[in-house]
């Protein structure tokens, strides 16, 4: 290869790497990977044969079909976290539940390896949140801080509103649209 060909390959490889990094940052990549990897030992061990010299040990159990189903579902949930990141909470909770069920059904969750990988992957999938754009404010009140707290006291009533004696802003429940809360309560 010539020097120019190697330089072009380096640029192309760098571009592909940056593209993959961008794709990976927009989804719970590590949660999906660990969930996917957790499903493999869970579905593999019940059907594996271990040979020691001339003796063959088979790990097959009556719950082999259950192990296969749990393993395949964990692989599918890991792929779901990658390709459907908006359903990451469902996929993460389902992965955690399947990991717990695998302890009983499939040889202690693939000899605890698959259980731990799926449990941690599901937790990462549930806890992942998409990054906010640079100018986008945090969720919560528009006037609040980034952590959702609001340091100001109660907001003043709208212009022309009457307080007390049957007025529009005498609702103390905090759910009236006239006081700007629209059903949101504030503790503290």
The pTM (predicted TM-score) of the whole model is: 0.64
Q: Flag whether pLDDT at 40 surpasses 70.
A: yes
d(C-alpha 154, C-alpha 179), whole Å: 9
- Per-chain mean pLDDT for the chain: 78
d(C-alpha 41, C-alpha 160), whole Å: 68
Q: CB under 8 Å to 42, separation ≥6 — which residues? A: 67, 70, 71, 74, 102, 106, 109, 110, 114, 115, 118
Helix (H), strand (E) at residue 56: strand 55-58
Tell me what pLDDT residue 160 has: 47
d(C-alpha 3, C-alpha 79), whole Å: 39
d(C-alpha 76, C-alpha 95), whole Å: 10
Identify which has the larger pLDDT, 46 or 39.
Answer: 39
Burial category of 151 from C-beta neighbours within 10 Å (exposed 0-12, middle 13-18, buried 19 and up): exposed
Alpha helices for the chain (secondary structure H): 3-25, 29-44, 64-83, 88-105, 107-111, 113-127
Read off the pLDDT of residues 67-103 as tens digits, 9 standing for 90 and up.
889 999 999 999 999 999 999 999 999 999 999 999 8
Tell me what pLDDT residue 180 has: 59
User: How confident is residue 39, by pLDDT bands cut at 50, 70 and 90?
Assistant: very high
Read off the pLDDT of residues 138-147 as tens digits, 9 standing for 90 and up.
665 555 455 5
User: How confident is residue 117, by pLDDT bands cut at 50, 70 and 90?
Assistant: very high
């Amino acid at each position: 290869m010539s020097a120019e060909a190697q330089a072009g390959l380096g640029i192309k490889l760098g571009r592909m790497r940056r593209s993959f990094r961008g794709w990976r940052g927009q989804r719970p990549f590590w949660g999906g990977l660990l969930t996917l990897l957790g499903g493999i030992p869970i579905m593999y061990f019940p059907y594996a044969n271990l040979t020691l010299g001339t003796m063959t040990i088979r790990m097959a159990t009556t719950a082999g079909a259950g192990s296969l189903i749990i393993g395949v579902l964990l692989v599918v949930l890991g792929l779901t976290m990658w390709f459907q990141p908006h359903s990451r909470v469902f996929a993460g909770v389902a992965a955690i539940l399947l990991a717990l069920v695998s302890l009983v059904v499939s040889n202690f969750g693939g000899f605890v390896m698959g259980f731990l990988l799926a449990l941690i992957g599901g937790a990462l999938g549930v806890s992942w949140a998409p990054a906010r754009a640079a100018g986008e404010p945090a969720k919560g009140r528009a006037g609040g801080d980034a952590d959702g707290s609001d340091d100001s006291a109660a907001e003043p009533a709208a212009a022309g509103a009457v307080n007390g004696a049957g007025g529009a802003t005498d609702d103390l429940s905090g759910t009236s649209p006239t006081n700007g809360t629209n059903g949101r309560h504030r503790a503290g």
